[in-house]
Amino acid sequence: MEETKVITGKGTGSKGKKLLLAGGVVLLVVVAAGAGVGVRYWQTHRHSSTPASTAQRPKTREDTAQDLALSGDYAGAQAAIENALKQPNLSADDKYQLYYQQGANQKNQGDDQAALASFLQAASYEQTQGIYESLAQVATALGKNADAISYYKKAIPLIPPSPLSDDYKRLDEQAIKALGGQP
């Protein structure tokens, strides 16, 4: 009589689960990247709210700097921002957006000290959840935990009402605790 061998799969389950998990993570990253590209495309190619109009929204100085930064041309982005900031009659919102973009570029380049200065300049024009969270992240990277805690605390009351407001608040409070503070 022939001997029948039964393969139970013991010992391969863990490896299979790890492979499945890794595949899921890769899929998630690909989907997130695709969503980011899609949102950016939508932002730059959306039409005005008038249904009969086919004209695109004019490109702003911030759009130009962001496009340059996204293409990896941080020097070009920085030059575009500096030129834009020299323009007369910039609104406070324009200055906020330009300094915020400048800080984001500097942070992405690893120049946290310059990013901190740019974000502080942006905050002098407009106080938002985003600017204070950016300040907190840069302060944390610079080892300025007390400042980071203060920035997170300033961000919390500025969280706009939305279905995710509680989640944003919880994340900021967790960051404060991780830095050794009390929310």
Token representation of residue 110: 């690893």
Q: Are 68 and 76 in contact (CB under 8 A)?
A: yes
| Residue in the structure block whose two tokens are 């709210």 | 49
Query: What pLDDT is stored for residue 77 in this prediction?
Result: 84
pTM of model > 0.85: no
Range 61-178: architecture per CATH: Alpha Horseshoe (1.25)
The rounded mean pLDDT for the chain is 80
Choose between 107 and 16: higher pLDDT.
Answer: 107
DSSP of 46-77: PBPS-TT--PBPPPPHHHHHHHHHHTT-HHHH
How do residues 117-136 score in pLDDT, each as one tens digit? 999 999 999 999 999 999 99
Using alpha carbons, select from 174, 74, 175 the residue that is nearest to residue 118: 74
Q: Which residues contact 30 (CB under 8 A, 6 or more apart)?
A: none
User: Does residue 30 register a pLDDT over 70?
Assistant: no
Average pLDDT rounded to a whole number, residues 84-113: 94
Cα–Cα distance for residue pair 116/142, rounded to 1 Å? 9
What residue ranges do the domains of the chain occupy?
Answer: 10-58, 61-178
Query: What pLDDT is stored for residue 46 in this prediction?
Result: 44
